[in-house]
Structure 1
Amino acid sequence: MSEINVVPYIDVMLVLLVIFMITAPMLTQGVNVELPNANATPIQNSDTDVLIASIDGQGNYFLDFGGSQDAISLEDLQDKVRKVLTQNASLPVLVRGDKSVSYGEVVSLMVALQAAGAPNVGLVTEPESK
């Protein structure tokens, strides 16, 4: 009777697991935005991509889709969102606004996203700590 020794396969699997656990947080890039706290239910996480438009404390705009994290103007952001949404109209669009930014600047970003063809826009907040 022959048996397969699976111990080496388990060792390899554990090494790969450690590698993925270390590299996964490094792959997530973002803009340093201090989000406001809110007592809201989180949206359902889907397997599709998400288009995230951000505005930081200095009023700089960022678009998080495809890995670019450079500050861009509102008009450039609107053009890029329009191009992405023509390819995939069902792509969810989210806004991350720093809590020090005025409400008017966040609204102007949302208006620009709506003009670019986003049917609805979600707001990203931090969960309220108890």
Structure 2
Amino acid sequence: MLRTTRHKRFKLKSEINVVPYIDVMLVLLIIFMVTAPMMNLGVDIQLPQTQAKSLQDKKDPLVASVDENGQIYLSTAGSKREPVSAEEFRARVTAYQKANPGLQVLVAGDERANYGKVYLILPILQQAGVSKIGLLSQPESSGTHGRP
């Protein structure tokens, strides 16, 4: 018996067929494009219009400073900086806060000061009930961008 049929050998392909993945991606893209406008979770409101100007804080803030050696200074508008101890600082800030519940305190720390000394006054301000605390800085001059 003679065999006339030839055996074909199929080579295995080592390529990934990405056509089905592209089809799935396009179907998902269409689904998300259709459903995205329906998922608007915001509330459409119209705010009233008025001629009123924005509020300006006319009260001068209390300024707490820490120098290079860790000495705490306290100053108010129109007064010069006076050195205070941590306990005096706590007492004065508490008194200012009770007299003015909306008190704003600005913290100015010398860049050469120990971070721990500057941080010491933040918990005192929190315990005194001060909720408006800001940090003071100076604008950077144009020639100091590359300093180490």
* TM-score, L = length of structure 2: 0.54
2:94 paired residue among 77, 82, 92:
82
The CA deviation string for residues 41-100 of structure 1, in whole angstroms up to 9 with x for no partner, is xxxx73211111111111111110262532110110111000001011112111010011
Alignment of 1:113 with 2:128, yes or no, is no
Structure 2's unaligned 5+ residue stretches are 1-55, 143-148
C-alpha RMSD over aligned residues: 1.9
Task: Provide runs of 4+ in structure 1 moved above 6 Å.
Answer: none
The CA distance in 2 between the partners of 1:100 and 1:59, in whole Å, is: 10
Alignment of 1:128 with 2:133, yes or no, is no
Q: Is the 8 A contact 1:81 1:113 kept in 2?
A: yes
Question: Where does residue 103 of structure 2 map in the other structure?
Answer: 91
* TM-score, L = length of structure 1: 0.61
2:62 paired residue among 42, 51, 56:
51
Q: Is the 8 A contact 1:52 1:64 kept in 2?
A: yes
Q: Which amino acid aligns with 1:65?
A: T
Q: For the pair shown, which has the larger CA radius of gyration, 1 or 2?
A: 2
The CA distance in 1 between the partners of 2:60 and 2:132, in whole Å, is: 16
Higher relative contact order by CA 8 Å / sep ≥ 6: 1 or 2? 1
Q: How many residues align?
A: 87
Structure 1's unaligned 5+ residue stretches are 1-44
The CA distance in 1 between the partners of 2:95 and 2:65, in whole Å, is: 18
The CA distance in 2 between the partners of 1:93 and 1:48, in whole Å, is: 11
Query: Percent same amino acid among aligned pairs?
Result: 34
- Find the residue that maps to 2:73 and give its secondary structure: strand
Q: Which amino acid aligns with 1:50?
A: P
Q: Which amino acid aligns with 2:64?
A: A
Q: Which amino acid aligns with 2:123?
A: V
Q: Is the 8 A contact 2:94 2:128 kept in 1?
A: yes
